[in-house]
Amino acid sequence: MQKMEQMYEGKAKKVFATDDPTLCIVSYKDDATAFNGKKKGTIEGKGVVNNRMSNFMFQLLEKNGIPTHFVKELNDRETLVKKVTIVPLEVIMRNKAAGSMAKRLGLKEGTELLCPVLEFSYKCDELDDPMVNDSHILAAGFATKEDLDTISSMSRKINEIMCEFFASVGVELIDFKLEFGRTTDGQIVLADEISPDTCRFWDIHTHEKLDKDRFRRDLGGVEEAYAEMMKRIGLL
Ligand code: TMP
């Protein structure tokens, strides 16, 4: 597999073309941003944690019947993935109120929810990723009804698999963000990453935050939290 030109650079990853038009290489950086890039910093070793944890999670999900873009881990920071066109939606699943939902609805962080919440944001930095509902998505053509149904049911199943797995390692999955893409042969697959950047992880007993909120909120112990998550899932 030949790594070729850089196709794209995002806030946390770069994507490179390969000599196979159906495959790309993602390369995870240590750069950290929050609040749509208004806060910037570095989390030492984050690229390695996010690459390895994402690949571990994608393989766990594949075993449970969820199609993903994962093909092969190439090294600590780089992974071969299926080339996809990203559906321009951030899909957020929530099990307890936290972050923007806690703020918007005036709920204390950690408030129990009677059922999981599925939210969508339109991926658009200039607009600060506005929240949208099903009818906005269909009306604006961000996704078709069929794709939205696939994405919604996959997201709910992913939530069940992930909640059970993280509970088994003493971590409560508060909420997380997913992105989906369409492969060159037309299949909708889970893409992007699953990491402490994109999930809220709380220790089940102490409720200590083990995710990027430590960076967003200047809580300290950021690298230590990422390393603790790697230990919990058996990768360190
Ligand atoms: P929120 O409470 O700020 O809306 O975040 C919900 C979840 O989504 C949380 O686990 C963090 C994750 N997330 C991202 O991965 N990327 C983003 O740009 C944002 C705003 C949140």
Question: pLDDT tens-digit profile of 141-160?
Answer: 999 999 999 999 999 999 99
pLDDT tens string 77-105 = 999 999 999 999 999 999 999 999 999 99
CA separation (Å) from 234 to 74, 81, 147, 227, 231? 19, 23, 34, 11, 5
Mutate to test the pocket of ligand 1, among 113, 198, 210, 215 (most ligand atoms within 8 A of CB): 198
Q: What is the predicted pLDDT for the residue at 172?
A: 99
Q: What is the predicted pLDDT for the residue at 1?
A: 85
Q: What is the 96 CA–ligand 1 centroid distance (Å)? A: 13
Please compute the mean of the pLDDT values over residues 97-118 and round it to a whole number: 98
Q: How confident is the model at residue 116 (pLDDT cuts 50, 70, 90)?
A: very high
Q: What is the 100 CA–ligand 1 centroid distance (Å)? A: 8
Pair 151, 89: CB distance under 8 Å: yes
Q: What is the predicted pLDDT for the residue at 196?
A: 99
Q: Rounded to the nearest 5°, which phi and psi values hold at 142?
A: -70, -30
Q: Rounded to the nearest 5°, which phi and psi values hold at 204?
A: -60, -35
Q: What is the 81 CA–ligand 1 centroid distance (Å)? A: 23
Closest C-alpha to ligand 1, atom 2: 99
Identify the residues whose C-beta falls under 6 Å from ligand 1: 92, 98-101, 175-177, 198-200
pLDDT tens string 1-50 = 899 999 999 999 999 999 999 999 999 999 999 999 999 999 999 999 99
CA nearest neighbour of 32 among 41, 20, 23, 22: 41
Closest C-alpha to ligand 1, atom 15: 198
Q: What is the predicted pLDDT for the residue at 74?
A: 98
Q: What is the predicted pLDDT for the residue at 229?
A: 98
pLDDT tens string 159-217 = 999 999 999 999 999 999 999 999 999 999 999 999 999 999 999 999 999 999 999 99
Mutate to test the pocket of ligand 1, among 36, 53, 92, 173 (most ligand atoms within 8 A of CB): 92
Q: How far apart are CA 77 and CA 74, in angstroms?
A: 8
Q: What is the predicted pLDDT for the residue at 163?
A: 99
Please compute the mean of the pLDDT values over residues 55-74 and round it to a whole number: 99
Q: What is the predicted pLDDT for the residue at 154?
A: 99
Closest C-alpha to ligand 1, atom 11: 198
Pair 37, 86: CB distance under 8 Å: no
